[in-house]
Chain A
Amino acid sequence: AQSVTQLGSHVSVSEGALVLLRCNYSSSVPPYLFWYVQYPNQGLQLLLKYTTGATLVKGINGFEAEFKKSETSFHLTKPSAHMSDAAEYFCAVSVSYNQGGKLIFGQGTELSVKP
């Protein structure tokens, strides 16, 4: 069975500081990995995804994530935080089966950005 663990339910950084949100997954088969962002009272927006190929994935809004198979991790980073980055971030894993997988989400990490 697949699962996702996000370390830290809340992360606070200063504007301009590095953002690091941690995600570890469990999967018996090669996973597809995703990061979604959710602003208050909104749906989830895809930030980036890893399927195959290059393990460093770049997404929108300056975010990137690196797939490390040996560590079963897919941590999300951004070199310099902006106030507009404050939101809830979800890591998710998908195992494609029957030609269409389902997403298993982590518990989420709330990112606060201090001025």
Chain B
Amino acid sequence: EAGVVQSPRYKIIEKKQPVAFWCNPISGHNTLYWYLQNLGQGPELLIRYENEEAVDDSQLPKDRFSAERLKGVDSTLKIQPAELGDSAVYLCASGRHDRTEAFFGQGTRLTVV
């Protein structure tokens, strides 16, 4: 069974530029999460989807961050414009509706210069 796939693995951009991250969850997983992991910290939830519906986006900075999960499968997280403080690892995870554990992708390491 394939795991959660994220791309790109690494991204370097200049501040004020836009950036997008892509996530393909495990097949059959209807719950999808985007987490932010700052250096030396534990991950923090940005947004959680149940199928195509964002059911928890209270931690998503909506002035510059947006996310979508069309058709309830793949998801894209976008930052526009990026700031220096956005440098971090962005983790995607997926899970089943009837389970609590989440399975994580390898993450996208973003560096804003």
Binding site for B on A (CB under 8 A): 4, 9, 32, 34, 36, 41-46, 49, 51, 90, 92, 94, 96, 98-108
Per-residue contact bits, chain B 14-39, to A (CB 8 Å; 1 contact, 0 not): 00000000000000000101000000
In the complex, chain B residues whose CB is within 8 Å of the CB of A36: 104
Known contacts A43-B91, A100-B48, A102-B56; decide if A107 and B41 are in contact (CB<8 Å): yes
Q: Is the CB of A44 within 8 A of B97?
A: no
Q: Which residue of chain B has its CB nearest to the CB of A51?
A: B100
Option from B42, B50, B56 in Cβ contact (under 8 Å) with A90 = B42
Binding site for A on B (CB under 8 A): 4, 6, 31, 33, 40-45, 48, 50, 55-56, 91, 93, 95, 97-98, 100-107, 109
Q: Is the CB of B100 within 8 A of A32?
A: yes
Q: Is the CB of B104 within 8 A of A44?
A: yes
Q: Is the CB of A94 within 8 A of B104?
A: no
In the complex, chain B residues whose CB is within 8 Å of the CB of A90: 42-43
